[in-house]
Amino acid sequence: MATERVTERNDGLTHERVIERDAGGTTYVDRGGSGMGGVIIGVAVLALVAIVAFFLLQSSRNDAIRTDAVAGAASSVAESAGSAAQSVGNAAGEAAEAVNPQ
């Protein structure tokens, strides 16, 4: 008859059970974890996704602010150019009238 020796170890995270049998020369090791490693990895991945989403949203918001600022500046320049063109036109008309009085 074969002799069998069972050794169990539990460190709080991993439960290990070793069965030794003299007859067959085969040792079976049964290990089971608490599954906390998967939970920790899941939480880390979720946090990483949240951080990336936050920065992408901030980047999009900053691009919109920049676009509005550039559009406002272009509008201001266009208004200034329009009034400057009007002033140049008036000055040219006055100069032409001064050269050729009617």
Residue range 21-73, pLDDT digits in tens: 776 556 666 676 667 888 899 999 999 999 999 988 888 787 777 787 788 77
Q: Largest alpha-carbon pair distance within the chain? A: 136
Q: Is 10 within a domain? A: no
Residue 18's CB: how many other CB atoms inside 10 A? 14
Q: Is 60 within a domain? A: yes
The structure tokens listed for 7 are 């050794």
Identify the domain containing residue 70 by its residue range: 53-102
Q: Is 100 within a domain? A: yes
Q: Is 101 within a domain? A: yes
pLDDT at 51: 94
pLDDT at 8: 84
DSSP state of 56: H
Nearest-angstrom CA–CA distance, 39 and 47: 12
Nearest-angstrom CA–CA distance, 83 and 101: 26
Q: Is 5 within a domain? A: no
